[in-house]
Structure 1
Amino acid sequence: MTEPVLRIAVLGAESSGKSTLAEALAARYRTLWVPEYLREFVDTHARVPFESDQYPIACTQRAREDAAASRATRFLFCDTTPLMTALYSRQYWGRVDPQLARLDSRHDYAWTLVTAPDSPWEPDGLQRESEEVRQNVHRMLVQTLEARGIAYVLLEGGLERRLRQVEAVLEAGVQAGS
Protein backbone atom coordinates (compact mmCIF):
# COMPACT_ATOMS: atom_id res chain seq x y z
CA MET A 1 0.00 0.00 0.00
CA THR A 2 1.35 3.41 -0.93
CA GLU A 3 1.42 6.28 1.51
CA PRO A 4 -1.12 9.03 0.96
CA VAL A 5 0.14 12.15 -0.74
CA LEU A 6 0.47 15.08 1.64
CA ARG A 7 -0.87 18.31 0.18
CA ILE A 8 1.08 21.42 1.02
CA ALA A 9 -0.48 24.84 0.55
CA VAL A 10 1.91 27.52 -0.67
CA LEU A 11 0.17 30.82 0.06
CA GLY A 12 1.15 34.43 -0.17
CA ALA A 13 0.35 37.77 -1.67
CA GLU A 14 1.20 38.70 -5.25
CA SER A 15 4.89 38.83 -6.18
CA SER A 16 6.01 36.97 -3.04
CA GLY A 17 7.60 33.95 -4.71
CA LYS A 18 4.88 31.29 -4.41
CA SER A 19 5.23 29.86 -7.90
CA THR A 20 9.02 29.84 -7.84
CA LEU A 21 9.02 28.10 -4.48
CA ALA A 22 6.34 25.52 -5.36
CA GLU A 23 8.12 24.58 -8.57
CA ALA A 24 11.50 24.32 -6.81
CA LEU A 25 10.03 22.16 -4.04
CA ALA A 26 8.42 19.82 -6.55
CA ALA A 27 11.77 19.44 -8.31
CA ARG A 28 13.61 18.85 -5.04
CA TYR A 29 11.13 16.17 -3.89
CA ARG A 30 10.64 14.69 -7.38
CA THR A 31 6.92 15.22 -7.31
CA LEU A 32 4.30 17.53 -8.77
CA TRP A 33 3.15 21.04 -8.10
CA VAL A 34 -0.13 22.66 -9.08
CA PRO A 35 0.44 26.05 -10.72
CA GLU A 36 -1.88 28.91 -9.90
CA TYR A 37 -4.82 28.73 -12.30
CA LEU A 38 -5.47 32.47 -11.98
CA ARG A 39 -2.35 33.19 -14.05
CA GLU A 40 -3.68 30.98 -16.86
CA PHE A 41 -7.13 32.59 -16.55
CA VAL A 42 -5.69 36.09 -16.91
CA ASP A 43 -3.53 35.07 -19.87
CA THR A 44 -6.38 33.22 -21.62
CA HIS A 45 -9.04 35.90 -21.07
CA ALA A 46 -6.65 38.89 -21.33
CA ARG A 47 -8.28 40.45 -18.28
CA VAL A 48 -8.45 40.22 -14.54
CA PRO A 49 -11.35 38.22 -13.10
CA PHE A 50 -14.76 39.63 -12.38
CA GLU A 51 -16.34 38.83 -9.04
CA SER A 52 -18.47 36.17 -10.75
CA ASP A 53 -15.27 34.44 -11.95
CA GLN A 54 -13.87 33.89 -8.47
CA TYR A 55 -15.77 30.72 -7.54
CA PRO A 56 -15.13 28.98 -10.90
CA ILE A 57 -11.44 29.92 -10.62
CA ALA A 58 -11.24 28.39 -7.14
CA CYS A 59 -13.10 25.27 -8.34
CA THR A 60 -10.68 24.84 -11.23
CA GLN A 61 -7.72 25.28 -8.88
CA ARG A 62 -9.06 22.62 -6.54
CA ALA A 63 -9.97 20.22 -9.39
CA ARG A 64 -6.44 20.47 -10.76
CA GLU A 65 -5.09 19.83 -7.31
CA ASP A 66 -7.31 16.73 -6.92
CA ALA A 67 -6.20 15.41 -10.32
CA ALA A 68 -2.51 15.95 -9.55
CA ALA A 69 -2.80 14.25 -6.14
CA SER A 70 -3.33 10.89 -7.82
CA ARG A 71 -0.06 11.29 -9.76
CA ALA A 72 2.12 12.95 -7.11
CA THR A 73 4.70 11.20 -4.98
CA ARG A 74 4.77 11.81 -1.23
CA PHE A 75 4.02 15.55 -1.44
CA LEU A 76 1.89 17.77 -3.67
CA PHE A 77 2.82 21.44 -3.62
CA CYS A 78 -0.21 23.65 -4.28
CA ASP A 79 0.58 27.14 -5.56
CA THR A 80 -2.37 28.83 -3.89
CA THR A 81 -5.69 27.48 -2.68
CA PRO A 82 -9.30 28.70 -2.62
CA LEU A 83 -8.40 30.59 0.57
CA MET A 84 -6.34 33.06 -1.48
CA THR A 85 -9.14 33.44 -4.02
CA ALA A 86 -11.49 34.32 -1.16
CA LEU A 87 -9.01 36.83 0.28
CA TYR A 88 -8.71 38.58 -3.06
CA SER A 89 -12.51 38.68 -3.26
CA ARG A 90 -12.52 40.48 0.08
CA GLN A 91 -9.75 42.79 -1.12
CA TYR A 92 -11.45 43.83 -4.36
CA TRP A 93 -15.20 43.43 -3.74
CA GLY A 94 -15.44 43.60 0.04
CA ARG A 95 -17.17 40.22 0.29
CA VAL A 96 -16.86 36.52 -0.51
CA ASP A 97 -19.46 34.60 -2.50
CA PRO A 98 -21.12 31.98 -0.22
CA GLN A 99 -20.08 29.11 -2.53
CA LEU A 100 -16.49 30.31 -2.51
CA ALA A 101 -16.60 30.68 1.27
CA ARG A 102 -17.71 27.04 1.62
CA LEU A 103 -14.93 25.87 -0.69
CA ASP A 104 -12.42 28.07 1.11
CA SER A 105 -13.40 26.58 4.49
CA ARG A 106 -12.11 23.17 3.29
CA HIS A 107 -8.50 24.04 4.06
CA ASP A 108 -7.33 20.41 4.38
CA TYR A 109 -3.59 20.63 3.87
CA ALA A 110 -0.87 18.81 5.80
CA TRP A 111 1.15 22.05 5.95
CA THR A 112 0.51 25.67 5.10
CA LEU A 113 3.47 27.70 3.95
CA VAL A 114 3.25 31.48 3.66
CA THR A 115 5.73 33.37 1.52
CA ALA A 116 6.68 36.67 3.09
CA PRO A 117 6.46 39.75 0.87
CA ASP A 118 10.11 40.54 1.54
CA SER A 119 11.43 40.63 -2.01
CA PRO A 120 11.13 43.63 -4.30
CA TRP A 121 7.63 43.98 -5.72
CA GLU A 122 7.58 43.49 -9.47
CA PRO A 123 4.71 44.35 -11.82
CA ASP A 124 3.50 41.44 -13.94
CA GLY A 125 0.99 42.63 -16.48
CA LEU A 126 -2.63 42.45 -15.39
CA GLN A 127 -2.13 40.25 -12.36
CA ARG A 128 -0.23 42.48 -9.97
CA GLU A 129 -1.41 45.78 -8.63
CA SER A 130 0.96 47.39 -6.13
CA GLU A 131 3.21 46.98 -3.12
CA GLU A 132 0.41 48.42 -0.96
CA VAL A 133 -2.04 45.72 -2.09
CA ARG A 134 0.62 43.04 -1.62
CA GLN A 135 1.23 44.10 2.00
CA ASN A 136 -2.50 44.38 2.73
CA VAL A 137 -3.21 40.90 1.33
CA HIS A 138 -0.32 39.48 3.36
CA ARG A 139 -1.79 40.98 6.54
CA MET A 140 -5.24 39.64 5.66
CA LEU A 141 -3.79 36.18 5.02
CA VAL A 142 -1.93 35.99 8.33
CA GLN A 143 -4.95 37.33 10.24
CA THR A 144 -7.26 34.79 8.55
CA LEU A 145 -4.97 31.85 9.25
CA GLU A 146 -4.59 32.90 12.87
CA ALA A 147 -8.33 33.50 13.32
CA ARG A 148 -9.08 30.02 11.93
CA GLY A 149 -6.39 28.35 14.00
CA ILE A 150 -4.54 27.15 10.89
CA ALA A 151 -0.90 26.56 11.68
CA TYR A 152 1.48 28.03 9.13
CA VAL A 153 5.16 28.56 8.53
CA LEU A 154 6.26 32.03 7.42
CA LEU A 155 9.04 31.70 4.84
CA GLU A 156 11.43 34.59 4.53
CA GLY A 157 14.50 35.40 2.49
CA GLY A 158 15.67 34.14 -0.87
CA LEU A 159 14.75 30.88 -2.53
CA GLU A 160 17.57 28.79 -1.04
CA ARG A 161 16.76 29.96 2.48
CA ARG A 162 13.07 29.21 1.94
CA LEU A 163 13.89 25.74 0.60
CA ARG A 164 15.95 25.01 3.73
CA GLN A 165 13.11 26.26 5.94
CA VAL A 166 10.61 23.98 4.19
CA GLU A 167 12.96 20.98 4.29
CA ALA A 168 13.31 21.37 8.05
CA VAL A 169 9.53 21.61 8.50
CA LEU A 170 8.79 18.63 6.29
CA GLU A 171 11.50 16.46 7.82
CA ALA A 172 10.31 17.22 11.35
CA GLY A 173 6.68 16.68 10.39
CA VAL A 174 7.26 13.39 8.61
CA GLN A 175 9.30 12.10 11.54
CA ALA A 176 6.49 13.13 13.89
CA GLY A 177 3.96 11.32 11.74
CA SER A 178 2.16 14.27 10.12
Structure 2
Amino acid sequence: MIVGAECSGKTSLAQALATHYNTVWVPEYLRDFVAQHQRTPKEHEQIDIARMQVQREAEMLPQANRFLFCDTSPLMIRLYSEHYFGKADLALFELAATHDYDFTLLTSPDFAWVDDGLQRESPAVRQRIHDKLQQELEEREIPHLLLAGGMQERLDQVAFAMDFLIGA
Protein backbone atom coordinates (compact mmCIF):
# COMPACT_ATOMS: atom_id res chain seq x y z
CA MET A 1 0.00 0.00 0.00
CA ILE A 2 1.06 3.55 -0.60
CA VAL A 3 0.07 5.97 2.13
CA GLY A 4 0.82 9.58 2.77
CA ALA A 5 -0.80 12.90 3.43
CA GLU A 6 -2.54 14.94 0.77
CA CYS A 7 -0.46 16.05 -2.19
CA SER A 8 2.55 13.87 -1.36
CA GLY A 9 2.80 11.98 -4.64
CA LYS A 10 0.88 8.76 -3.86
CA THR A 11 -1.06 8.60 -7.11
CA SER A 12 1.89 9.46 -9.33
CA LEU A 13 4.01 6.90 -7.52
CA ALA A 14 1.36 4.16 -7.82
CA GLN A 15 1.08 4.79 -11.57
CA ALA A 16 4.85 4.82 -12.03
CA LEU A 17 5.36 1.64 -10.01
CA ALA A 18 2.64 -0.17 -11.93
CA THR A 19 4.33 0.80 -15.18
CA HIS A 20 7.78 -0.16 -13.87
CA TYR A 21 6.62 -3.58 -12.68
CA ASN A 22 4.24 -4.16 -15.60
CA THR A 23 1.20 -4.54 -13.36
CA VAL A 24 -1.91 -2.67 -12.28
CA TRP A 25 -2.68 -0.24 -9.51
CA VAL A 26 -5.76 0.73 -7.50
CA PRO A 27 -6.65 4.42 -7.63
CA GLU A 28 -7.90 6.23 -4.55
CA TYR A 29 -11.70 5.87 -4.52
CA LEU A 30 -12.08 9.13 -2.59
CA ARG A 31 -11.04 11.07 -5.71
CA ASP A 32 -13.89 9.49 -7.68
CA PHE A 33 -16.31 10.22 -4.84
CA VAL A 34 -15.32 13.89 -4.68
CA ALA A 35 -15.46 14.27 -8.47
CA GLN A 36 -18.90 12.63 -8.64
CA HIS A 37 -20.47 14.54 -5.72
CA GLN A 38 -18.46 17.78 -6.10
CA ARG A 39 -17.91 17.86 -2.35
CA THR A 40 -15.87 16.22 0.36
CA PRO A 41 -17.50 13.28 2.14
CA LYS A 42 -19.55 13.56 5.28
CA GLU A 43 -18.67 11.66 8.45
CA HIS A 44 -21.16 8.83 7.88
CA GLU A 45 -19.79 8.25 4.34
CA GLN A 46 -16.24 7.49 5.45
CA ILE A 47 -16.79 3.79 6.11
CA ASP A 48 -18.44 3.28 2.72
CA ILE A 49 -15.49 4.98 1.03
CA ALA A 50 -13.08 2.70 2.88
CA ARG A 51 -15.12 -0.38 1.98
CA MET A 52 -15.21 0.65 -1.68
CA GLN A 53 -11.43 1.12 -1.62
CA VAL A 54 -11.00 -2.42 -0.28
CA GLN A 55 -13.52 -3.77 -2.80
CA ARG A 56 -11.62 -2.18 -5.67
CA GLU A 57 -8.40 -3.73 -4.39
CA ALA A 58 -10.04 -7.16 -4.38
CA GLU A 59 -11.37 -6.59 -7.91
CA MET A 60 -7.94 -5.60 -9.24
CA LEU A 61 -5.98 -8.37 -7.54
CA PRO A 62 -6.68 -11.03 -10.24
CA GLN A 63 -5.29 -8.61 -12.86
CA ALA A 64 -2.07 -7.98 -10.96
CA ASN A 65 1.22 -9.25 -12.28
CA ARG A 66 2.98 -10.22 -9.03
CA PHE A 67 2.36 -6.83 -7.39
CA LEU A 68 -0.71 -4.67 -6.83
CA PHE A 69 -0.01 -1.06 -5.90
CA CYS A 70 -2.76 0.52 -3.81
CA ASP A 71 -3.10 4.30 -3.70
CA THR A 72 -4.18 4.78 -0.07
CA SER A 73 -5.85 2.47 2.45
CA PRO A 74 -8.58 2.37 5.10
CA LEU A 75 -5.96 3.60 7.57
CA MET A 76 -5.68 6.92 5.71
CA ILE A 77 -9.45 7.29 5.64
CA ARG A 78 -9.57 6.65 9.38
CA LEU A 79 -6.86 9.23 10.09
CA TYR A 80 -8.60 11.88 7.99
CA SER A 81 -11.91 11.05 9.71
CA GLU A 82 -10.29 11.66 13.06
CA HIS A 83 -8.76 14.89 11.80
CA TYR A 84 -11.92 16.37 10.25
CA PHE A 85 -14.64 14.92 12.48
CA GLY A 86 -12.74 14.36 15.72
CA LYS A 87 -13.51 10.64 15.59
CA ALA A 88 -13.89 7.65 13.30
CA ASP A 89 -16.62 5.05 13.12
CA LEU A 90 -15.83 1.82 14.99
CA ALA A 91 -16.27 -0.17 11.76
CA LEU A 92 -13.66 2.08 10.12
CA PHE A 93 -11.26 1.46 13.01
CA GLU A 94 -11.78 -2.28 12.61
CA LEU A 95 -11.33 -2.22 8.84
CA ALA A 96 -8.16 -0.15 9.14
CA ALA A 97 -6.81 -2.48 11.82
CA THR A 98 -7.57 -5.74 10.03
CA HIS A 99 -6.88 -4.88 6.41
CA ASP A 100 -3.24 -5.84 5.96
CA TYR A 101 -0.76 -5.26 3.15
CA ASP A 102 2.50 -6.98 2.29
CA PHE A 103 4.55 -3.81 1.99
CA THR A 104 3.89 -0.22 3.08
CA LEU A 105 5.28 2.83 1.35
CA LEU A 106 4.99 6.19 3.12
CA THR A 107 5.36 9.27 0.92
CA SER A 108 7.04 12.31 2.44
CA PRO A 109 5.30 15.66 2.11
CA ASP A 110 8.25 17.10 0.24
CA PHE A 111 6.43 17.76 -3.06
CA ALA A 112 5.04 21.23 -3.68
CA TRP A 113 1.55 21.49 -2.20
CA VAL A 114 -1.15 22.29 -4.77
CA ASP A 115 -4.68 23.44 -3.93
CA ASP A 116 -7.28 21.40 -5.81
CA GLY A 117 -10.27 23.45 -4.68
CA LEU A 118 -12.09 20.56 -3.00
CA GLN A 119 -10.02 18.01 -1.11
CA ARG A 120 -6.76 19.59 -0.09
CA GLU A 121 -6.64 21.96 2.84
CA SER A 122 -3.12 23.32 3.44
CA PRO A 123 0.55 22.44 3.74
CA ALA A 124 0.18 22.63 7.54
CA VAL A 125 -2.60 20.02 7.55
CA ARG A 126 -0.55 17.88 5.20
CA GLN A 127 2.37 17.93 7.65
CA ARG A 128 0.10 17.21 10.63
CA ILE A 129 -1.44 14.19 8.86
CA HIS A 130 2.00 12.95 7.81
CA ASP A 131 3.23 13.13 11.41
CA LYS A 132 0.14 11.28 12.71
CA LEU A 133 0.48 8.63 10.03
CA GLN A 134 4.15 8.05 10.71
CA GLN A 135 3.43 7.79 14.45
CA GLU A 136 0.59 5.30 13.78
CA LEU A 137 2.78 3.09 11.61
CA GLU A 138 5.49 3.09 14.27
CA GLU A 139 3.09 2.44 17.18
CA ARG A 140 1.44 -0.45 15.33
CA GLU A 141 4.89 -1.71 14.31
CA ILE A 142 3.94 -1.73 10.64
CA PRO A 143 7.17 -1.94 8.67
CA HIS A 144 7.31 0.85 6.12
CA LEU A 145 9.65 2.61 3.78
CA LEU A 146 9.68 6.40 4.00
CA LEU A 147 10.11 7.79 0.50
CA ALA A 148 11.54 11.22 -0.18
CA GLY A 149 12.81 13.19 -3.13
CA GLY A 150 11.70 13.39 -6.72
CA MET A 151 9.83 10.67 -8.56
CA GLN A 152 12.92 8.92 -9.90
CA GLU A 153 14.51 8.92 -6.45
CA ARG A 154 11.36 7.38 -5.00
CA LEU A 155 11.19 4.76 -7.73
CA ASP A 156 14.82 3.87 -7.09
CA GLN A 157 14.20 3.60 -3.34
CA VAL A 158 11.23 1.27 -3.87
CA ALA A 159 13.03 -0.86 -6.47
CA PHE A 160 16.02 -1.28 -4.15
CA ALA A 161 13.81 -2.31 -1.23
CA MET A 162 11.60 -4.62 -3.27
CA ASP A 163 14.56 -6.31 -4.92
CA PHE A 164 16.01 -6.91 -1.45
CA LEU A 165 12.75 -8.18 -0.01
CA ILE A 166 11.96 -10.57 -2.86
CA GLY A 167 15.56 -11.67 -3.26
CA ALA A 168 16.05 -10.49 -6.83
State the TM-score, normalizing by the size of structure 1. Answer: 0.93
Residue 114, structure 1, aligned to residue 106, structure 2: yes
SS at match of 1:153: strand
Structure 1 unmatched ranges of 5 or more: 1-8
Distance in structure 2 (CA, Å) of the matches to 1:110 and 1:120: 29
Q: Which of 138, 150, 153 is residue 130 of structure 2 equivalent to? A: 138
User: Is 1:153 paired with 2:153?
Assistant: no
2:115 aligned partner, one-letter code = P
Is the counterpart of residue 86 in structure 1 residue 78 in structure 2?
yes
Q: How far did residue 125 of structure 1 move? A: 2.0
Q: Could you say which residue in structure 2 is the equivalent of 1:17?
A: 9
SS in 2 for 1:57: helix
SS, match of residue 70 in structure 1? helix
What residue is the counterpart of 2:117 in the other structure? 125
C-alpha RMSD of matched pairs (Å)? 0.9
What secondary structure is seen at the aligned counterpart in 2 of 1:134?
Answer: helix
The residue correspondences of 1:16-35 to structure 2 (distance < 5 A) are: 16-35=8-27
**Counterpart in the other structure of 1:5:** none
Q: Which runs of 5+ in 2 are unaligned?
A: none
Deviations 1:84-111 (A, max 9, x none): 0000011111111000011000241111
Distance 2:88 2:40 in 1: 17
Runs of 4+ in 1 over 3 A off after TM superposition: none
SS at match of 1:92: helix
Aligned mate of 2:48, from 42, 53, 56:
56
Structure 2 residue 65 is matched with structure 1 residue 77: no
Report the AA paired with residue 145 of structure 2.
V
Deviation, structure 1 residue 19: 0.1
Match of 1:96 among 84, 88, 92: 88
Map Cα deviations across residues 46-70 of structure 1 (whole Å, 9 max, x no partner). 1000001100000000000011011
Q: What pairs with 1:29-44 in structure 2 (closer than 5 Å)?
A: 29-44=21-36
Identity %: 51
Question: Secondary structure of the residue that 1:105 maps to in structure 2?
Answer: helix
Q: How many pairs does the alignment contain?
A: 168
Match of 1:174 in 2: 166
